[in-house]
Structure 1
Amino acid sequence: MSHGTTMPTDSATGEVGDVRRSWLVRRGLLPEAGSQRKLALAGFVNQLGTAAFLAAMPLYALRVIQLPIGQVGLGLGVAAVAGLIAGIPVGHLADRYGPRGIFLLTLLIQMLSMTSLLFAHSFWWFVVAMTVTDLAGSAGGAARGPLIRRLGGDEVPKFRSYLRSVATLASTFGALAAGVVVQIDTGTAYRVLILVNALTFLASAAVLVKLPALKPLPFPRDAGRWVALKDAPYMMFVVLDGVMWIQGEVLTFALPLWVVLHTDAPRWFVGLAIAVNTVLVVFLQMRASRGVKGGTLASQAIRRSGFAFLIGMAVIATASGAPGWAAVVIMMVGVALHTAGELWHAAGSLELRFRLAPAHAQGQYSGVFGMGMGLCYAIAPSLLGLLCITWGTPGWLLMGGIFVASGFAMPYVIQWAGRSRQLADNAD
């Protein structure tokens, strides 16, 4: 006869696991079992490896391939510019032939190009490997758009917000992994990281192959081939929204330089600020997206975010000259305000990105959207460096004013878009 506590049976353990999963689903921390959860898992694995690679890759090029810093910057610039051109045509292919197969192909290409980087021994090999990787990555993003639209069903904004939280969490873990590799700082460590990143593309493909093969939606007879590029309201939305996405570089690029060069705050505050921002985005993005449905509410959320960015950046700017701990407190308030703006902007942007695009051309529109974001991310360091770091407080206020102006104009652009398409607040 046994005494004391009995061990749980397998069925009991399974019931506990089901209860936990059910609680996570109810709280919005996990999608319902099925295609949405598979797509989220594939995205997490992909972003985990990519974030780790991007953080350590410049040092790999410098220390292992032994390229001069100028060639590293040039190679990455060439790859980034080349990557911008792939999204639109590949997105069009995803619309015409089905998104899953095209997305899987881009993942396999990235796996091969990443593996080839292990054997790079010259500048041109490095450039080719990185260019193919960026081309396939941009193309994959365009092909992923229709998958999100189709699998998200009636809750596309909610699902997209969840995917953003997952990507943010994966990026954090990837950065931590890269930190370990950089600390080890050996050729073997860098090569292992690159190999693991190559394998994450294969792992993501293994998950995505279980998704249903979505048939392409029929194109209207009167629709031209490059409808997204001819859609003037959408192109203006991409421009304004791209400007707003520069906010993503404020905390990761401008703030660290501001802390080190213009304040008496301890340098560890940079890591704390990014950690606080990450935690808030992971846990609050879905909540911030609730109710942001339709063109009117989405554009209002973006307008509201512009004012939050201005106030947050003004607060951060006042930390210059303040004593160390006072500067920490001041900038933490600024980071919190900036993060609130980030949450509102992402909620509105993700809603409009999918609502403004016709379902049959979602891939092509995703390519245009990605190109706009890529261009703005490319100019963000130079712009923020000039305004926020070189000009100081007036530059912070000017950049915040640019965010306000872009956000203020957004509702008018959405009204313009509404006159050229069916964009009701209860749109599909």
Structure 2
Amino acid sequence: MTTPARLPLLARLLAPLADPVLRALVVATLISRVGRGIFLTVTVLYFTFVVGLPAHEVAVVLTLASAAGVLSSFAGGWLADRISARRLLIGLSIADGIGLVSYVFAGDFAAALVIAMLVGAVEQGANATRSAIIARAFTGEARVGARAVLRTVTNVSIAAGSGIGALALALGTPEAYRTTIVLAGAASLLGVTQLVRLPRSVDAPAPRASRPVTTATGSTDVAASARAERIALRAHSPWRDPRYLLLTLLTAVFGMQFAVTNIGVPLWVAHSTEAPAVVVSAVLILNTVIVILFQVPLSRGTHDLRVAGRVSAIAAWLMAVACIVYALSAGLPAWGAVAVVLGAALAHALAEVLSQAGGWGLSYELADPVRAGTYQGVFGMGYSIGAMCAPLVVAATALEHGLAGWGVLAAVFLASGLGTWAIARSAARSAARAPAPGAEGDDVPVETGGAAIAST
């Protein structure tokens, strides 16, 4: 018996691009996220040195920009179920690019706040719309694989954009900052040229006509028919799905681990350890490399509920260990602190990769396909709420109370990750017990969420 030849590395890397939907999304992401990397690199210092905002006003701008994304995440998914998701994503992406360019006109706190909130809302709405497109364009493992590929491409592009943004930091002039911000917006707009290649199949299917309600005289009651249709649609609402809402809450809590990387570790290293500040850059580089190398392979199979639950549990333990190890870096000599922080960062990066893979799989498989966009909007809204609360949580625990605070964070991450695992196991058991559609004794095939789909 012969073994099929293994595809060359380049062929394996390019294989996802054979799909027209993923190809358009990948190329658009590759271009536009360079702009996002540029912007993230210069944002805080641009507000500080060019616009002239004090630290507390910068914090308010960034916090309210995250808050604006909470409702827009849901709105993006909700709209993607009702209008063309393709056109919606194109429109939001154009608005995002224009919004980035408009930062060069921010001359005071009020202008910076308005622009930041609009850009934050547009970006999160676009993210939810993109998730809805993936939910409809792919199934099973290909769906999670598409998310993994896009996240890998995002990290590559943001890293490249960060290098470009560093040029503005090196020059340090207002003109350099403004030029790079314009480049960031131009890159976002250039990515739209690829989104127009998305096929119409990514849009939500046209709603099925509901059975008309007839009166006693045999005429059609239009108002009653519309009311019956609305009632039928509400039955597919994520707000009536407590399991999905709990999943959203738990993954939002675990999603606060991003603030540990971006806020907790830099401030901890600077104020509580003997490690040099350059180790913060090493942590970010390590995180990026781990995501690029392992997000795709470690996401395989997480369309299966049990696998998704298992990787979520592993992520929970890894993140808990990372928190404790970060805490142990205090009081060590510089070389020891560097080694301990990098060891914790490695566990943290793997936890991030696994938690994302498990969350994607469950967010798709437990969603009702009738309202794929709305479900993804709710899931994205949870992440936005977590991102908004995360800086305060990290500051009030690890940064305020040291080892005890890191212990609290470890317990929070462990509880949320194991809670996600419990949801996945329960859903898998329910799916295994559910009769297959069309089986003997079923009068009508039951339309369920992804849990049942995953078991077929």
Query: Partners in 2 of 1:147 and 1:22 — Cα distance?
Result: 30
Shift in Å at residue 91 of structure 1?
A: 1.7
Range with greater deviation from structure 2 (68-77 or 373-382): 68-77
2:72 corresponds to 1:62? no
- Kept in 2, the 8 Å contact 1:108–1:205? The answer is yes
2:88 corresponds to 1:102? yes
2:114 corresponds to 1:128? yes
Shift in Å at residue 229 of structure 1?
A: 2.5
- Kept in 2, the 8 Å contact 1:24–1:30? The answer is no
SS in 1 for 2:190: helix
- Kept in 1, the 8 Å contact 2:367–2:449? The answer is no
Shift in Å at residue 219 of structure 1?
A: 4.6
Post-superposition CA distance 1:61-88 (Å, at most 9, x none): 2333333433333233333212211122
SS in 2 for 1:86: helix
2:329 corresponds to 1:319? yes
Aligned to 2:10: 24
Aligned to 2:433: none
- Kept in 2, the 8 Å contact 1:87–1:364? The answer is no
TM-score scaled by length of structure 1: 0.88
Shift in Å at residue 171 of structure 1?
A: 1.9
Counterpart code for 2:237: V
Structure 1 counterpart of 2:317, from 307, 316, 321: 307
Instruction: Identify unmatched segments of 5+ residues in structure 2.
Output: 1-6, 209-228, 431-447
Post-superposition CA distance 1:343-380 (Å, at most 9, x none): 22111011112212223322222221121111111221
TM-score scaled by length of structure 2: 0.83
Query: Partners in 2 of 1:133 and 1:370 — Cα distance?
Result: 16
Aligned to 1:291: 301
2:451 corresponds to 1:423? yes
Post-superposition CA distance 1:284-316 (Å, at most 9, x none): 111111222322221221112111111122222
- Kept in 2, the 8 Å contact 1:237–1:414? The answer is no
Query: Partners in 2 of 1:201 and 1:218 — Cα distance?
Result: 30
- Kept in 1, the 8 Å contact 2:364–2:450? The answer is no
Query: Partners in 2 of 1:49 and 1:387 — Cα distance?
Result: 33
- What is the Cα-based RMSD across aligned positions, in Å? 2.3
SS in 2 for 1:97: coil
2:263 corresponds to 1:276? no
- Kept in 2, the 8 Å contact 1:228–1:368? The answer is yes
Query: Partners in 2 of 1:251 and 1:97 — Cα distance?
Result: 37
- Kept in 2, the 8 Å contact 1:233–1:414? The answer is no
Please give the residue correspondences for 1:16-415 in structure 2 after superposition, counting only pairs within 5 Å. 23-27=9-13, 31-32=17-18, 34-154=20-140, 155-214=142-201, 215-219=203-207, 221=229, 222-224=232-234, 227-414=237-424
Query: Partners in 2 of 1:36 and 1:247 — Cα distance?
Result: 28
Post-superposition CA distance 1:84-106 (Å, at most 9, x none): 11122232221122211000010
- Kept in 1, the 8 Å contact 2:16–2:22? The answer is no
Query: Partners in 1 of 2:144 and 2:352 — Cα distance?
Result: 15
- Kept in 1, the 8 Å contact 2:365–2:450? The answer is no
Distance 1:360 1:25, change over 3 A: farther
Shift in Å at residue 29 of structure 1?
A: 7.7
Query: Partners in 2 of 1:179 and 1:49 — Cα distance?
Result: 13
**Percent identical across equivalent pairs?**
25
Counterpart code for 1:34: P
Post-superposition CA distance 1:132-155 (Å, at most 9, x none): 211211111111112222333441
Counterpart code for 1:192: T
- Kept in 2, the 8 Å contact 1:294–1:424? The answer is no
Instruction: Identify unmatched segments of 5+ residues in structure 1.
Output: 1-20
Query: Partners in 2 of 1:174 and 1:29 — Cα distance?
Result: 25
Shift in Å at residue 60 of structure 1?
A: 2.0
Query: Partners in 2 of 1:352 and 1:184 — Cα distance?
Result: 46
Query: Partners in 1 of 2:109 and 2:277 — Cα distance?
Result: 34
Counterpart code for 1:137: E
Query: Partners in 1 of 2:173 and 2:236 — Cα distance?
Result: 47
Query: Partners in 2 of 1:188 and 1:29 — Cα distance?
Result: 42
Range with greater deviation from structure 2 (206-215 or 175-184): 175-184
SS in 2 for 1:96: coil
Distance 1:268 1:117, change over 3 A: closer
Query: Partners in 2 of 1:40 and 1:120 — Cα distance?
Result: 31
Query: Partners in 1 of 2:331 and 2:43 — Cα distance?
Result: 36
Distance 1:265 1:163, change over 3 A: same
